[in-house]
Amino acid sequence: MLRIDNLSAGYDRLEVLHAVSFSVERDAPTVMLGANGAGKTTLCRVITGLIPARDGGIFLDGANITRLDPSDRVKRGVALVPEGRQVFPDMTVRENLRLGAYVHGEPGPAEFDAVFAMFPILAERQNQRAGLLSGGEQQMLALARALMSRPRLLLLDEPSQGLAPKAVALVAETVNRIAAMGVAILLVEQNLILAEAVARHVVVLETGTCVADGSASEMLVSGAVEDSYLGKKRRH
Ligand SMILES: Nc1ncnc2c1ncn2[C@@H]1O[C@H](COP(=O)(O)OP(=O)(O)OP(=O)(O)O)[C@@H](O)[C@H]1O
């Protein structure tokens, strides 16, 4: 579904990602683990086209999307739930959702209904300002907004950040439901509880280099990732 091939990228003179390669399959939600500054957000930005690749390639179902504009990538099915959620606080829930569908034109009632069926809390609060929602509800809105673009691949950049454990559990359940709909998942995270609840496949990024890649059962259950790369303090 998604193939990252020897990808390098960075900012000005700083190279952050060094020849990163891995794949994401539709039936194996993938979690990329890495400490602060490892380059996880940079990777999300390169895949979505917000910053250019310096070298290497990004392939979606075999098609080379490395040089496409961000909006063309969205049209092909790439959606991002950005770090910090980035909902528009002064717009209503419904207006935020509408923006998620922008590449396909004006969304119809059926598109709103599909998302509201999955997120009843957003249906109830659709005419309220997004800034009035709790952190967990804003994360649901960020997920729902991404779904409005009808993604085939959903990238999630640390959706657990700043959320209480109950809200993290809801994010996990929601991401698993989205995966069950046939959407490929790449979740970048430091939270092992969320990672374990979602991952079938795990990739570890350390200072811009992939240092481990394997099945979740090999890598998470054994505790190897936790011990080697993240430190036990992150399990809470
Ligand atoms: N806009 C930018 N301009 C210059 N350097 C940047 C920029 N954004 C990130 N960096 C640098 O790139 C490196 C990787 O940052 P990135 O945000 O991708 O890491 P991360 O793994 O997502 O970390 P975090 O968990 O803290 O978000 C860091 O050294 C960071 O300082």
- Ligand 1 atom 28 nearest Cα: 37
**DSSP secondary structure of 81-99:** E-TT----TTSBHHHHHHH
* pLDDT score recorded for residue 30: 97
Triad 73, 99, 152: Cα angle to 5°: 35
* pLDDT score recorded for residue 86: 93
In sign, the C-alpha dihedral spanning 94, 103, 180, 32 is negative
* pLDDT score recorded for residue 186: 98
**Distance from the CA of 42 to the center of ligand 1, in angstroms?**
6
> Is the Cβ atom of 39 under 6 angstroms away from ligand 1?
yes
* pLDDT score recorded for residue 220: 76
63, 225 Cβ separation under 8 angstroms: no
> Is the Cβ atom of 191 under 6 angstroms away from ligand 1?
no
Block mean pLDDT (10 aa), the chain, length 236: 98 97 97 93 97 98 97 96 94 96 89 95 97 96 96 97 94 96 96 92 95 87 64 47
List the chain domain ranges: 2-234
* pLDDT score recorded for residue 19: 98
Q: What is the atom index within ligand 1 of the atom nearest the CA of 190? A: 25
* pLDDT score recorded for residue 222: 67
Residue with tokens 């400490």: 35
68, 76 Cβ separation under 8 angstroms: yes
Residue with tokens 């990228």: 9
| E-strand stretches of 90-169 | 153-157
* pLDDT score recorded for residue 217: 85
ipTM: 0.95
* Nearest residue to 207 (alpha-carbon basis) of 81, 80, 45, 42: 42
* pLDDT score recorded for residue 88: 96
**Distance from the CA of 125 to the center of ligand 1, in angstroms?**
34
* pLDDT score recorded for residue 126: 97
> Is the Cβ atom of 36 under 6 angstroms away from ligand 1?
yes
CATH of domain 2-234: 3.40.50.300
Cα gap 97→140, rounded to integer Å: 11
* pLDDT score recorded for residue 231: 53
* Nearest residue to 185 (alpha-carbon basis) of 60, 50, 26, 74: 26
> Is the Cβ atom of 42 under 6 angstroms away from ligand 1?
yes
**Distance from the CA of 128 to the center of ligand 1, in angstroms?**
33
> Is the Cβ atom of 45 under 6 angstroms away from ligand 1?
no
> Is the Cβ atom of 37 under 6 angstroms away from ligand 1?
yes
* Nearest residue to 118 (alpha-carbon basis) of 147, 87, 154, 138: 147
Query: Any idea what DSSP says for residue 227?
Result: I
Task: Ligand 1 pocket test: pick from 13, 36, 161, 230 the residue with the most ligand atoms within 8 Å of its Cβ.
Answer: 36
**DSSP secondary structure of 193-210:** HHHHHH-SEEEEEETTEE
- Ligand 1 atom 13 nearest Cα: 37
Cα gap 58→15, rounded to integer Å: 17
